[in-house]
Structures are given as structure tokens and as C-alpha cells.
């Protein structure tokens, strides 16, 4: 199951209470205060891990609580700290305040952590409060409460390249051709129900990550088809491959197909249109010459880079990989290194 949005509730452990105690020993009158300090409460920490792909594990548990700090004890014994609660999330998880919608963090790299709720401070024992004028304090500090908040987690995949297009354009066939990903492929629309990621290895031993998202149709922004919600997964891509069917099948006119997807992207978030797009005509093994020419002419006049391939037979697929690699290198040179427009501070828990 692919879950990419979820609300969780986190509660850090409260700090323990400091101890009030006095040393009692035979022949030692007025032994003095010896109440120990308490432990701090455990924190709730989100940790990004390469090993998981979706937020599905949070579907079955949405309340996370860290352990309370232990109280201090007599004989100057300190209480133990509460154990932290660590929640593993996939790379690309954006953490937002559920009430305000503010972005609090963005976990992009393996091992990135975000302090979701900080554990309460442990109270000090009475031994700490002894002074020359008050040598036997009968009070100790109480622990402070652990933080608590409601978070909205949103997964936005971190693929270098996103593949967009109408249903049946051959997006999944393409990703299975150039990467090791094995998505479902079939000749009916909406075969792909959630995004798939694949790593593409280039001839010069480099690699990039590519995402196949479910097809878009007219009205996707209003929820038609599978809607436009999956577009969030290409928001952070450097560039897009717009795949268009030019086969003899009864599919729509290729230029119209381009505009349909273009419009839906515009309605979802116009920022997507600023991304570099490579228009790729697919299914040239079964091409409709007129459709192909129309699309090629359109790209030429509009200044879009254009390629024609057959994802099914593999024709020109290596040329496509090289072109993507080159475009990514050029984009890197132009300084598009930062994938995510959304910032967010990663805070160390301690």
C-alpha cells in the first residue's frame, strides 16, 4: 500500500521529579540532603531511512509516546533518562504542523533526523539546593512536561526526473526498460495506481533516479481519474519527461495530449511548468507518421527538446538516457542543485 500523507500525534516523555532525601547513618547526626536528580523524558524523533518507501507503517499507529524520565532517589542517585521514541520515515518526508501547515522539517538524506517532540527536563534533587543558609532544603524540583504536537507528514519523492503523460502513454513500460523497477504494465488506463521509483544507470557509471506517476487526464485537478495528487511527487524533480503516444491506436492527437497534461500541471502548481521538459514521442515501433510529424513540428516551433523512442522494443532508449544525463548535468551547472524549494530546519535532539 502506498501512503504518502498522514497525521500523527507525538508526545515526549515528561521529566522525572527530583528527590527529597536526607542522609541517615548511625552516629552521623544531621547527615545533610542527598536527594538525587531525575532523568529527562525521552524525545520523539523522526528518522529518515532509505529502507522504507512509504508512510504505510504509520497508518496502524498514529500516536507515539516516549518514555517518562525516572525520579531521582536518595543517596544522590540520579533517575534514568526516558528512552527516545524513534519513528522511521522514508526519504522525502516533509514535516508540517498539522494546525498551521507550517513546514517544520524536511528529511532528505538517509539518517536525517527531526526532533518532533522534546523530552521534559528532569527536576533537581534537594541536594542541589543546599546553601550555607539553608543546609537542609526540604524541596526538590518537579520535572517539566514533555512537548506534544500533532504533525502532518507528507511524502514528496526525491526523484531527479519525473515521467508525466496521459494514461497508456507507456510511462511504466519506459521505467521498466531503463531501470530495474518492475511496475505493472497493461493496455488499459490507470494501470499505475501509485508512483514507482527506479534507478537508471548510465554508460559512464553514474546514475539518476526516475519516478513514474499515474496518468493524468483532463479534469485531474478536480479529481477526475486518479486526480492530480500524485503531481506532488514530481514537485522536487529537476526535470520532466513528457511521454506522448504517437502510435496508430485511437489515442488523442499528440499536441492535444501535450496540452491536456500541461493544463493540469498548471492548475496544480504553475511552478511545475518552470521545470525543464523533454518531450518524448513513444511507440515509434507502431508509429502514425502524421502524429509523429505533428508533434515534432510543435516541439520545434515551441522550442522543446524532442526525442522519439519505443519503450517496448528499446529503440532509442539509451539515447534517451544519455539525453537525460546531459540535461541533468547542464542543470547542475546552472545551479539547480537544490531539489526542494521547501526549507525546514533539522534540529538535533540534544
Q: Which of residues 131-160 bind ligand GTP (CB under 6 A)?
A: none
Give all strands of the β-sheet with 5-11 in edge-to-edge order: 63-65, 5-11, 148-155, 93-97, 103-107
> Which positions from 190 to 229 touch Mg ion by CB under 5 A, shown as an x/- string?
-xx-------------------------------------
298-317 binders of ligand GTP (CB under 6 A): 310-312
| SS3 state of residue 141 | coil
Residue 123 binds which entry of Mg ion, ligand GTP, none, CB below 5-8 Å type-dependent: none
E strand or H helix at 149? strand 148-155
Q: How far is the CB of 163 from ligand GTP (least distance, A)?
A: 8
Contacts 24+ apart (CB under 8 A), 51-54: 51/88, 52/88, 52/89, 52/90, 53/2, 53/90, 53/197, 54/1, 54/2, 54/3, 54/4, 54/90, 54/155
333 phi, psi to nearest 5 deg? -65, -35
By beta carbon distance, the residue nearest ligand GTP is 215
Region from 80-88, 169-177, 197-205, 337-345 binding ligand GTP, contact rule CB under 6 A: 169-177
State in angstroms the smallest separation of the CB of 196 from Mg ion.
8
Q: How far is the CB of 195 from ligand GTP (least distance, A)?
A: 10
Is residue 292 part of the contact set for ligand GTP (CB under 6 A)? Answer: no
172-211: which residues touch ligand GTP (CB under 6 A)? 172-173, 185-187, 189-192
Q: Which of 94, 89, 96, 84 is nearest to 111 (CA)?
A: 89
Give burial (CB, 10 Å; 0-12/13-18/19+) of 132: exposed
Q: How far is the CB of 331 from ligand GTP (least distance, A)?
A: 25
Binding site for ligand GTP (CB under 6 A): 165, 167-173, 185-187, 189-192, 214-215, 247, 282-283, 285-286, 310-312
Binding site for Mg ion (CB under 5 A): 171-172, 191-192
Amino acid at each position: 500500500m502506498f501512503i504518502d500523507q498522514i497525521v500523527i500525534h507525538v508526545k515526549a516523555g515528561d521529566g522525572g521529579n527530583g528527590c527529597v532525601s536526607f542522609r541517615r547513618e548511625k552516629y552521623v547526626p544531621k547527615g545533610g540532603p542527598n536527594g538525587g536528580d531525575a532523568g529527562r523524558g525521552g524525545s520523539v524523533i523522526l528518522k529518515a531511512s532509505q529502507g522504507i518507501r512509504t508512510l504505510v507503517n504509520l497508518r496502524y499507529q498514529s500516536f507515539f509516546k516516549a518514555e517518562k524520565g525516572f525520579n531521582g532517589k536518595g543517596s544522590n542517585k540520579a533517575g534514568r533518562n526516558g528512552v527516545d521514541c524513534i519513528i522511521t520515515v522514508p526519504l522525502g518526508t516533509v514535516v508540517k504542523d498539522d494546525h498551521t501547515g507550517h513546514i517544520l522539517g524536511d528529511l532528505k538524506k538517509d539518517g536525517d533526523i527531526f526532533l518532533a517532540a522534546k523530552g521534559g527536563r528532569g527536576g533537581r534533587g534537594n541536594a542541589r539546593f543546599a546553601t550555607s543558609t539553608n543546609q537542609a532544603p526540604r524541596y526538590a524540583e518537579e520535572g517539566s512536561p514533555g512537548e506534544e504536537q500533532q504533525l502532518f507528514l507528507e511524502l514528496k519523492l526525491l526523484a531527479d526526473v519525473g515521467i508525466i503523460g496521459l494514461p497508456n502513454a507507456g510511462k511504466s513500460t519506459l521505467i521498466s526498460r531503463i531501470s530495474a523497477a518492475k511496475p505493472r504494465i497493461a493496455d488499459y488506463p490507470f494501470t499505475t495506481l501509485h508512483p514507482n521509483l527506479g534507478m537508471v544507470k548510465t554508460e559512464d557509471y553514474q546514475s539518476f533516479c526516475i519516478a513514474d506517476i499515474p496518468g493524468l487526464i483532463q479534469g485531474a485537478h478536480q479529481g477526475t481519474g486518479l486526480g492530480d495528487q500524485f503531481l506532488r511527487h514530481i514537485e522536487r524533480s529537476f526535470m520532466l519527461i513528457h511521454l506522448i503516444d504517437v502510435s496508430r491506436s485511437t489515442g488523442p492527437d499528440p499536441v492535444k495530449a501535450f496540452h491536456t497534461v500541461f493544463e493540469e500541471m498548471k492548475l496544480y502548481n504553475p511552478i511545475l511548468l518552470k521545470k525543464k521538459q523533454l518531450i518524448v514521442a513513444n511507440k515509434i515501433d507502431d508509429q502514425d507518421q502524421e502524429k509523429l510529424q505533428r508533434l515534432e513540428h510543435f516541439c520545434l516551433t515551441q522550442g522543446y527538446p524532442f526525442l522519439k523512442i519505443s519503450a517496448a522494443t528499446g529503440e532509442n532508449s539509451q539515447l534517451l538516457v544519455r539525453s537525460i544525463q546531459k540535461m541533468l548535468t547542464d542543470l547542475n551547472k546552472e545551479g539547480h542543485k537544490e531539489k526542494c524549494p521547501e526549507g525546514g530546519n533539522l534540529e538535533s535532539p540534544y
